[in-house]
Amino acid sequence: MEILSCSGKQLRDNRLTLTADIFWSFRSPYSYLATRRYRALTVEHDLEINLRPVYPLAIREPSFFERNHPNWLRYTFTDMFRVAQFHGIPFGPPRPDPIVQNVITREISDEQPYIFRLTRLGQAAARRGQSLAFCDEVSQLIWGGAENWHEGDHLAGAATRAGLDLAELDAEAESDAEALDAEIAANQSALEAAGHWGVPTLVFDGEPFFGQDRIDMAVWRMQQKGLAPRETAA
């Protein structure tokens, strides 16, 4: 197989495969809603998307939620349910929330038993080229209505469906946490260098597309650059 690469494009066996990065967080409902659709695009088209996990605002800027307008949280909940209904994507409040937060005061707890593990697992999956599949499968648990997604074999099943082994990922997340955190920080720096700061942001050919409501526009741009349906085996 011959592979030639350039910005946003790869030539594989004389077929053009477009490439893009998506910056993403386990705490972001819009990341989940976008990933469902972006993953489907990679199945249906000659497109590879590298998911690059980042820590959410709750970790990077804990005071963000306290500074927001009082209506922000209520509107966000209304909107994310509406978006899910519009696209026919299963959706439910996370149980538990990946971020431990007081919903009344909006204060972020110092103790965070979920988000560091999840994000390091996502980056370990990225090392294996499977972050899009892994994060999609896990986010279906978190945001798709699964109760106690962190217990039992929920996460192990998600890893298996993505072609990975949870025990292997967990071992790496613990033994190589410092290096993984450095890679996650590099993802955040790359996001900001591309021209945005929030998630989900898809970056294609150096151009950022922020939000699940920019997917159609991202596809439009990719089509201008040669996005084509994936050939199926005869």
Tell which CATH architecture fits domain 3-224: 3-Layer(aba) Sandwich (3.40)
| Extents of the domains making up the chain | 3-224
Residue 229 pairs in a beta bridge with 45
Q: Encoding tokens for residue 114?
A: 């979920």
Residue 25's pLDDT is 98
The rounded distance, in Å, linking the Cα atoms of 93 and 140 is 11
Q: Encoding tokens for residue 189?
A: 């720096």
The rounded distance, in Å, linking the Cα atoms of 168 and 55 is 21
Read off the pLDDT of each residue in 19-24 and give the average, rounded to a whole number: 98
Read off the pLDDT of each residue in 19-47 and give the average, rounded to a whole number: 96
Supply the mean pLDDT for the chain: 90
- Torsions phi, psi for 169 (to 5 deg): -65, -45
H-run or E-run covering 78 = helix 71-87
pLDDT digits (tens, 9 = 90+) for 57-105: 888 876 665 666 778 778 888 999 999 999 999 999 999 999 998 877 7
Instruction: Read off the DSSP letter of residue 171.
Output: H
Residue 60's pLDDT is 82
Residue 63's pLDDT is 66
pLDDT digits (tens, 9 = 90+) for 106-131: 788 889 999 999 999 999 999 999 99
The rounded distance, in Å, linking the Cα atoms of 41 and 64 is 33
